[in-house]
Amino acid sequence: MKIFDVYPINNINITKGIGSNVWDDQGVQYLDMYGGHAVISIGHTHPHYVQRLQDQLHKIGFYSNSIQIPLQQELATKLGKISGKEDFQLFLCNSGAEANENALKLASFYTGRKKIIAFSKAFHGRTSLAVACTDNPSIIAPVNETDNVIFLPFNDADALAQCFQEQGDTIAAVIIEGIQGVGGIHIATDDFLRQIRALCTQYGAVYIADSIQCGYGRSGKFFSHDFAGVDADIYSMAKGMGNGFPIGGIIIAPHIAPKYSMLGTTFGGNHLACAAALAVVEVMKDENLMSNASEIGDYLMQELKKIPLLQNVRGRGLMIGFDVPDTHKDLKKRLLSNKKIFTGEAKPNVIRLLPSLALTKSEADVFLTATREEVRN
């Protein structure tokens, strides 16, 4: 049997990782400024993470949601504390798309409505409703096409106000990334998020903060939407949540009440996944990783802005993007082949940095020196 060939891959076999560094099967070391696509939040093979997973595996790895799993409550309590959303409710699943799918479904159950507002360049995942809310027709299968999703221009206050005025009583939810990731690192303005909050409250719609890439401390705050100073009704999370162990979740405001069977999953919230997520939250707190993300992120952006060739350096914390001119559009490839540094990208010609939140200043300096050298050549 062959692997279904859907990923354009680099010809590299990574076999080891420690912190923000990984090694291939030839022993070559790479600096990971990509975090395995924003997933590695506390660093590869963090000792506390490895120990907690190992200990759990020796006790029990999985049992279904038909029994008590106190690890879920322990996670909910710690997540409430670190995110500041202590009165919210946690539902656990397995991936980002699934988190958004559940958020959207819950919004529709809650409001009894069908319409969803999403924005230009949004990416919300590949399951049916999440992909329908994604602004990329090439990944929407005919069966996922629907009239229920309204796309509006990102950060356009007038368009949003007009849409609510015309059809506010049919809107179940507004879904928005605090910082668009796949779309190329674009920040939702604080004013725009506050307007979403106000209109959702006025019209009885649900504000869904897709925090799958921009959340979990990456921006320097637990949710990047928090910069606007207002709460969403549902936050979706995945990526950094398990530092590589597949886990996702939504946290839900207290006014949205649960009913038996309205949501459910076989694997979501299993013992091993909870142990991984607990280890992440514990390390984030003990090692002050949100402040580190903020500090190292500011430093990286300040230094990147000094490189004349790089344009529109932008982001928050350790979610950073910049544009490279056409003449240097192979910068990502050159950093990988010449300097052994992994970075992310977005179309067209955007470099995306999504490293571990534990990235050190000296690792940031390695990246900066390499980038300066590659744009000079």
Ligand X SMILES: Cc1ncc(COP(=O)(O)O)c(C=O)c1O
Q: Give the residues lining the site for ligand X (CB under 6 A).
A: 95-97, 100, 123-125, 177, 181-182, 210, 212-213, 238
Residue 159: helix, strand or coil by DSSP? Answer: helix
Nearest CB to ligand X, comparing residues 344 and 371: 344
Nearest CB to ligand X, comparing residues 316 and 340: 316
Q: Show the tokens assigned to 349.
A: 């010609």
Nearest CB to ligand X, comparing residues 276 and 370: 276
Nearest CB to ligand X, comparing residues 164 and 223: 223
Q: What is the closest distance, in whole angstroms, from the C-beta atom of residue 349 to ligand X in the complex? A: 19
Q: What is the closest distance, in whole angstroms, from the C-beta atom of residue 244 to ligand X in the complex? A: 12
Q: What is the closest distance, in whole angstroms, from the C-beta atom of residue 246 to ligand X in the complex? A: 8
Question: What sign results for the dihedral spanned by CA atoms 121, 125, 126, 131?
Answer: negative
Q: Percent helix, strand and coil across the chain, each rounded to 5?
A: 40, 20, 40
DSSP 19: B
Give the 3-state DSSP-derived string for 21-67, with helices as H, strands as E and coil as C: EEEECCCCEEEECCHHHHCCCCCECCHHHHHHHHHHHHHCCCCCCCC
DSSP 245: S
Q: Closest residue to ligand X, Cβ-based? A: 96
Q: What is the closest distance, in whole angstroms, from the C-beta atom of residue 161 to ligand X in the complex? A: 24
Burial 230-255 (b: 16+ CB within 10 A, else e): bbbbbbbbbbbbbbbbbbbbbbbbee
Contact indicator for 69, 63 with CB cutoff of 8 Å? yes
Identify the CA nearest to 177 among candidates 200, 158, 196, 203: 196
* Consecutive H or E run containing 337: helix 331-339
**Who contacts 360 (Cβ-Cβ below 8 Å, separation ≥6)?**
20, 296
Q: What is the closest distance, in whole angstroms, from the C-beta atom of residue 156 to ligand X in the complex? A: 19
* Consecutive H or E run containing 322: strand 319-323
Q: What is the closest distance, in whole angstroms, from the C-beta atom of residue 159 to ligand X in the complex? A: 21
* Neighbouring C-beta atoms of residue 320, cutoff 10 Å: 23
Q: What is the closest distance, in whole angstroms, from the C-beta atom of residue 113 to ligand X in the complex? A: 22
Q: What is the closest distance, in whole angstroms, from the C-beta atom of residue 174 to ligand X in the complex? A: 15
Nearest CB to ligand X, comparing residues 49 and 119: 119
- Tell me phi and psi for residue 24, to 5 degrees: -95, 180
Nearest CB to ligand X, comparing residues 124 and 221: 124
Nearest CB to ligand X, comparing residues 6 and 67: 6
Nearest CB to ligand X, comparing residues 217 and 370: 217
